[in-house]
A and B are shown apart, each in its own frame.
Chain A
């Protein structure tokens, strides 16, 4: 077994697991802050119950995001020491700032918010949840800055075989960050919205606390509609950016083996990576040129042409990412994103017509609870696999990034260890989320706070 392969699997598994929690932390944090603000303004106790109900789910989710995040930070040095040496001068900066600027803020004020309910003035308590939400947002920007540099290295010179910072402003304002951060953050808000919508729908189907969950569903619908639509437009901007800066990734996303002018968008393809071709294709003419360059005439370069270019540029080697994976994950992400928008529009129309609680809609919304996670995974796999064989585009290959002194046995131990622990955690987390997503009050009973007063203390 190759330690490189194991290290890659480990990174993939731990990142995917970490990324279950992060988007929800970002999205749900903001939604809870909004709910608590409604309570602050209106004094309506329903909003207080609402913020606490969703806050409980937020907290379970937050803790797992933090601990799996430490693994991510340590993993660069443990499994990818050569990567760390190569990029540390630049990549380390956003990572360190993220911890200093965002993690302290989030975790300190989460503690203040959780334990300070009866101890703080209302305004201060409200401020603390907003600071938690702000912290998670700021943290997303810094970590995406680090990732953007892997996609599009800027502001560096190569000295003694390593990247050295030459222009910090270029790193902070990386063009790639300007398209990647909005897309990822908006997707996180969509995730939070669909989560709240799905669980609210589930309760509405069972007629639990109609007032609370109807209002929650309405708030969530607005979030999904706005954030979902903007996720799509910012995604389009990111795809156009990718066409210019990572043409091989774009070609793989489309399984476009041969250059086309104008290029058509592929709806379906049986991909044969070995022979470098696709069969049984269904294509929509012109559409890829529109998506990539906003016109109907531009050429989009194919994988074969780009491979030849890369060989001329970087020397002999295989520069083609795993096409089928990139192609299908991209389609999964886009397809799901469109479904989210359609769901939100349907919900808004029903709301406008005065009857959101149609059972078919509520059932549909419940199912949609799980889909943003798939869309998030798919999007990450598209962008990270699409960059292969590079770990830093054009500068460092993934195969040169792995720790040379760590043995197969060691990587195997940590890989199996993390996978097993994460699997168990996922099961517990899901179980607890399920338990706590259950009703605050039983139907027919007067509204009460049973079990809620103390939920935040350990």
Chain B
């Protein structure tokens, strides 16, 4: 494997980590009004992700930084091309962060309702838009000479990518419901579990539709023939398993399988792209690849040393933080208002 491919894989890992982790905290945010019936329950729901959501978001920041360093042209074309969707994602992330942080600071019904709306919208919008963005990435967008994006917002909002957005919002919601099933106090956990089982069906329908459409809309599967290959099939098996396991009340395993569905689906997308990082719909001559969009070999090597040292350290202490907060959040544990 050459160094460009290693860096491509590392960036894939960062996005996988981001979607796995922020996936469930988006889901928890989206489901806030559906699961919690009063203020104390809403606080429990929010506190299940309280210690984590901020650090989960850092996976995105790191992915962005790593793209900038390792593949500057990918970063430049993608970010200037997906301009308005990224703007909306930024606005949404600001809204939800402020919702989380400011909500409990005032004991006022209107204030808290406003914060709840910020959390729900701020979680739902990026959960949807990340699906749209990744779908467009895989499908290909009009990139012309000099690696410049030539489309507009409407290019990005095609039916197929909107379907991709539905897939991500449903899967993240399901993932979030199963996280709540693990970390919220018993009553709420049970409510989250039954909601997960109900969410599973529409999620399955949009996923199936997306899978079939991707044969005509992308070269993800057609490149290797009709049989999609091991990883997509595994992703589907995991997704089906999540329903069965949630039914059988294997909460931990059910959460793991939706997580693996997200991981494997992201692997499919990144594997399908390779060696391109941004295929052009105007002809493969304009494709951005891991070679023509990359930094110099020296930069990639310097960064690799840093990554080898620090990624394990980061994983260790993030793991530690999840271990510290492994117990369920209960109303007794929350204390006063």
CA distance A110 to B100 in the complex (A): 14
List residues of chain A with CB within 8 A of the CB of B64. Answer: 70, 73-74, 77, 99
Interface residue from A84, A108, A453 paired with B336 (Cβ < 8 Å): A453
Interface residue from B76, B87, B93, B105 paired with A435 (Cβ < 8 Å): B105
Q: Which of A400-458 contact B (CB under 8 A)?
A: 403-406, 410, 413-414, 417, 421, 425, 428, 432, 435-436, 451, 453-455, 457-458
Interface residue from B57, B68, B77, B102 paired with A432 (Cβ < 8 Å): B102
Determine, out of B46-54, B167-175, B263-271, the stretch whose residues face the partner at the interface.
B46-54
**A63 near B100: Cβ-Cβ < 8 Å:** yes
Q: Name the distance in Å between B123's Cβ and chain A's nearest Cβ.
A: 14
Residue of A100, A105, A165 contacting most chain B CB atoms (<10 Å) = A100
**B68 near A164: Cβ-Cβ < 8 Å:** no
List residues of chain A with CB within 8 A of the CB of B321. Answer: 108-109, 111-112
**B68 near A95: Cβ-Cβ < 8 Å:** yes
**B337 near A454: Cβ-Cβ < 8 Å:** yes
**B94 near A421: Cβ-Cβ < 8 Å:** yes
**B65 near A81: Cβ-Cβ < 8 Å:** no
Proximity bits, A114-155, B CB within 8 Å = 1, else 0: 111001100000000000000000000000000000000000
B324 touches A (CB below 8 Å): yes
List residues of chain B with CB within 8 A of the CB of A81. Answer: 76-77, 79-80
**B65 near A100: Cβ-Cβ < 8 Å:** yes
**B65 near A432: Cβ-Cβ < 8 Å:** no
Residue of B57, B61, B71 contacting most chain A CB atoms (<10 Å) = B61
CA distance A458 to B311 in the complex (A): 29
Task: Tell me if B's interface is mostly helix, strand, loop or mixed.
Answer: helix
Interface residue from A166, A421, A457 paired with B43 (Cβ < 8 Å): A457
List residues of chain A with CB within 8 A of the CB of B52. Answer: 111
Task: Tell me if A's interface is mostly helix, strand, loop or mixed.
Answer: helix
Q: Name the distance in Å between A27's Cβ and chain B's nearest Cβ.
A: 20
**B105 near A436: Cβ-Cβ < 8 Å:** yes
List residues of chain B with CB within 8 A of the CB of A73. Answer: 61, 64-65, 68
CA distance A111 to B56 in the complex (A): 11
Known contacts being A108-B318, A453-B336, is A88 close to B65, with CB within 8 Å? Answer: no
Proximity bits, B203-216, A CB within 8 Å = 1, else 0: 00000000000000
Proximity bits, B72-113, A CB within 8 Å = 1, else 0: 110111111101101100110110011011111110000000
CA distance A154 to B70 in the complex (A): 19
B226 touches A (CB below 8 Å): no
**A457 near B306: Cβ-Cβ < 8 Å:** no
Chain A residue, CB-CB nearest to B52:
A111
CA distance A107 to B51 in the complex (A): 9
**A109 near B68: Cβ-Cβ < 8 Å:** no
**A417 near B91: Cβ-Cβ < 8 Å:** yes
A170 touches B (CB below 8 Å): no
CA distance A454 to B40 in the complex (A): 13
Interface residue from A101, A110, A410 paired with B54 (Cβ < 8 Å): A110
List residues of chain B with CB within 8 A of the CB of A119. Answer: 324-325
List residues of chain A with CB within 8 A of the CB of B314. Answer: 100, 104-105, 108
Bin chain B's interface residue count. Answer: 35 or more
Residue of A84, A90, A453 contacting most chain B CB atoms (<10 Å) = A84
B250 touches A (CB below 8 Å): no
**B70 near A77: Cβ-Cβ < 8 Å:** no
Q: Which of A66-117 contact B (CB under 8 A)?
A: 66-71, 73-74, 76-79, 81-82, 84-85, 87-93, 95-101, 103-105, 107-112, 114-116
Interface residue from A70, A87, A93 paired with B90 (Cβ < 8 Å): A70
A60 touches B (CB below 8 Å): yes
Interface residue from B43, B69, B80, B334 paired with A78 (Cβ < 8 Å): B80
**A406 near B80: Cβ-Cβ < 8 Å:** yes
Chain B residue, CB-CB nearest to A171:
B302
Proximity bits, B297-310, A CB within 8 Å = 1, else 0: 01100110011001
Residues of B within 8 A of A (CB): 43, 46-47, 50-52, 54-55, 57-58, 60-62, 64-66, 68-73, 75-81, 83-84, 86-87, 90-91, 93-94, 97-98, 100-106, 147-150, 295-296, 298-299, 302-303, 306-307, 310-311, 314, 317-318, 320-321, 324-325, 334-337
A-B contacts, 8 listed (Cβ < 8 Å): A59-B101, A76-B68, A81-B76, A89-B299, A111-B55, A166-B298, A404-B148, A432-B105
Residues of A within 8 A of B (CB): 59-60, 63-64, 66-71, 73-74, 76-79, 81-82, 84-85, 87-93, 95-101, 103-105, 107-112, 114-116, 119-120, 159, 164-166, 168, 403-406, 410, 413-414, 417, 421, 425, 428, 432, 435-436, 451, 453-455, 457-458
